[in-house]
DNA sequence: CGACTTTGACCAGCGC
DNA sequence: GCGCTGGTCAAAGTCG
């Protein structure tokens, strides 16, 4: 496992998803996981290091680079950046609409991914009465009936693989663990977290790689509907995490905010020179993978979009974002 | 005492 | 229909 690398995955909300190519607990293929062990030693959180303070994932996602994350195919005409843009956006939209990719699809609503939830919330009074009765009857079972005729629709998911000693990485949001399950073919359990903010429906799953326990796979589902409280963990077992680990928000925002932070970085370190998102040199510096096979993955993923930062890419050598993230010592080791 | 974790049980979806 | 698995619930326990 190389240091200074990060892997990421995007999944749609309807079992159609975008996995890490070939991800499988039994055959872990990645040599690309961001190593946060150094970051964790820092007093700064990952978001602070990245300069992501108030970034709304997905919504703020630059269209040009959203395609990079999702893995849009190359345009027929490389000079037609407009079509590139459209294709890329369309693909993102298709994912979020949880529909089969159609080249010309263009409408989207983030709320659409919550349709199932809304439907569930708009039960008829009669149904509610029935359910209340059932609840009373099932007092001992203490479980709410969740029957719906509609297939449960899921929020889009984004997964990250991070090399970290701690499972739950601090990201500025507050999470409450609500479950833990043993994972098949893995000796490590999967933990389920939910954002503690009342109206916020964001969840995240945390599990460790079967082959490399040092790698934490964090999957985010949904979008925060509130600003980051930026609170420190109360518990001592999270204190180590707060020592600068990344996490939830990191991962939540990282996928969609990489381009933005590239932009910010360029501004900060390159004398405010505009960062040309269409600059092919810059784009080519990202080793991008798009796997339509998705033979194996987390949570029944069929397709995959995978953003992969490699060491030694022009991205890094050009003092890109990763250099800002990866400790200089690590980079020195790279050069040797 | 509030916030959070742990844990076993339950439910729903899926494949066979 | 059955069994497996992922996901969720909520009581009990823990911690500051």
Largest CA distance in chain A: 71
A299 near A221, Cβ under 8 Å?
A: no
- pLDDT of A167 reads 72
Of the ranges A18-27, A40-49, A63-72, A216-225, the best mean pLDDT one: A216-225
Q: Which range, of A3-7, A11-15, A283-287, averages the lowest pLDDT?
A: A283-287
Q: Is the CB of A182 under 7 A from strand B?
A: no
Which residue's CA lies closest to nucleotide C10 at its C1' atom? A142
Which residue's CA lies closest to nucleotide C8 at its C1' atom? A179
- pLDDT of A226 reads 75
- pLDDT of A160 reads 77
* Gap between the Cα atoms of A115 and A121, Å rounded: 10
Answer left, alpha or beta for residue A155, where phi above 0 means left and psi between -120 and 50 means alpha.
Answer: beta
Q: Between β-strands A6-11 and A157-163, what pairing exists: parallel, antiparallel or unpaired?
A: antiparallel
Mean pLDDT of chain A: 47
Under 8 Å CB-to-CB from A80, ≥6 apart: which residues?
A: none
Count of C-beta atoms within a 10 Å radius of residue A116:
19
- pLDDT of A122 reads 37
A38-54 residue pLDDT tens: 444 444 444 443 334 44
A215-242 residue pLDDT tens: 888 888 887 777 766 544 444 333 333 3
Of the ranges A47-61, A255-269, A274-288, A302-316, the best mean pLDDT one: A47-61
- pLDDT of A331 reads 35
Q: Is the CB of A148 under 7 A from strand B?
A: yes
What share of chain A has pLDDT > 70, as a percent?
A: 21
* Gap between the Cα atoms of A34 and A53, Å rounded: 20
Q: List the A81 CA – C9 C1' distance (angstroms).
A: 49
* HEC profile of chain A: CECCCEEEEEECCCCCEECCCCCCCCCCCCCECEECHHHHHCCCCHHHHHCCCCCCCCCCCCHHHHHHHHCCCCCCCCCCHHHHHHHHHHHHHHHHHCCCCCCCCCCCCHHHHHHHHHHHHCCCHHHHHHHHHHHHHCCCCCCCCCCCCCCCCCCCEEEEEEECCCCCCCCCCCEEEEEEEECCCCCCEEEEEEECCCCCCCEEEEEECCCCCCEEEEEEECCCCCCCCCCCCCCHHHHHHHCCCCCHHHHHHHHHHHHHHHHHHHHHHCCCCCCCCCCHHHHHCCEEEEECCCCCCCCCCCEEEEEEECCCCHHHHCCCHHHHHCCHHHHHHHHC
- A50-67: average pLDDT: 37
Q: List the A207 CA – C14 C1' distance (angstroms).
A: 23
A189 near A183, Cβ under 8 Å?
A: yes
Q: Which nucleotide is nearest to A147 (CA to C1')?
A: B12
Chain B bases near protein Cβ (<7 Å): 3-14
Chain C bases near protein Cβ (<7 Å): 4-11, 15-16
Which residue's CA lies closest to nucleotide C11 at its C1' atom? A142
Answer left, alpha or beta for residue A51, where phi above 0 means left and psi between -120 and 50 means alpha.
Answer: left
Which one is predicted more confidently, A141 or A199? A199
- pLDDT of A73 reads 34
Which one is predicted more confidently, A32 or A192? A192
- pLDDT of A140 reads 37
Q: Considering Cα of A89, then A93, then A220, then A185, what sign does the dihedral take? A: negative
- pLDDT of A301 reads 32
- A193-217: average pLDDT: 81
Q: How far is CA A82 from CA A67, A78, A86, A89, in A?
A: 13, 10, 6, 11
Q: Between β-strands A287-291 and A304-309, what pairing exists: parallel, antiparallel or unpaired?
A: antiparallel
A119-143 residue pLDDT tens: 333 333 434 443 344 433 343 344 4
Is residue A189 very low, low, confident or very high in pLDDT (cuts 50, 70, 90)?
A: confident
- pLDDT of A23 reads 42
**Residues written for chain A:** 336
Q: Which range, of A38-47, A204-213, A260-269, averages the lowest pLDDT?
A: A260-269
Q: List the A41 CA – B12 C1' distance (angstroms).
A: 42
Which one is predicted more confidently, A279 or A171? A171
- pLDDT of A117 reads 34
- pLDDT of A229 reads 65
């Amino acid at each position: 496992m190389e240091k200074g690398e990060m892997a990421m995955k995007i999944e749609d909300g309807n079992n159609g998803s975008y996995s890490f190519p070939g991800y499988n607990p039994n055959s872990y293929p990645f040599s690309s996981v961001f190593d946060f062990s150094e970051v964790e030693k820092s007093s700064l959180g990952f978001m602070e290091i990245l300069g992501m303070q108030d970034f709304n994932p997905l919504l703020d996602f630059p269209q040009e680079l959203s395609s990079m994350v999702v893995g849009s195919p190359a345009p027929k005409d490389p000079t037609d950046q407009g079509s590139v843009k459209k294709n890329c956006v369309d693909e993102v939209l298709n994912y979020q609409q949880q529909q089969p990719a159609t080249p010309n699809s263009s409408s989207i609503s983030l709320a659409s991914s919550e349709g199932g939830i809304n439907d569930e919330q708009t039960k008829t009074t009669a149904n509610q009465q029935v359910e209340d009765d059932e609840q009373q009857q099932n007092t001992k079972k203490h479980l709410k009936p969740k029957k719906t005729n509609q297939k449960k629709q899921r929020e889009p998911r984004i997964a990250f693989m991070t090399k970290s000693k701690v499972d739950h990485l601090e990201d500025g949001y507050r999470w409450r663990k609500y479950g833990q399950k043993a994972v098949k073919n893995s000796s490590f359990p999967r933990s389920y977290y939910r954002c503690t903010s009342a109206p916020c429906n964001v969840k995240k799953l945390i599990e460790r790689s079967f082959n490399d326990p040092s790698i934490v796979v964090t999957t985010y589902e949904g979008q925060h509907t509130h600003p980051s409280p930026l609170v420190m963990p109360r518990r001592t077992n999270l204190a180590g995490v707060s020592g600068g680990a990344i996490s939830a928000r990191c991962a939540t925002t990282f996928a969609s905010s990489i381009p933005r932070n590239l932009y910010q970085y360029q501004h900060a370190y390159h004398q405010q020179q505009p960062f040309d998102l269409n600059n092919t040199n810059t784009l080519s510096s990202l080793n991008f993978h798009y796997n339509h096979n998705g033979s194996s993955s987390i949570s029944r993923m069929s397709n995959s979009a995978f953003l992969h930062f490699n060491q030694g890419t022009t991205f890094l050598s050009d003092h890109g974002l990763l250099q800002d993230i990866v400790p200089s010592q690590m980079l020195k080791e790279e050069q040797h």
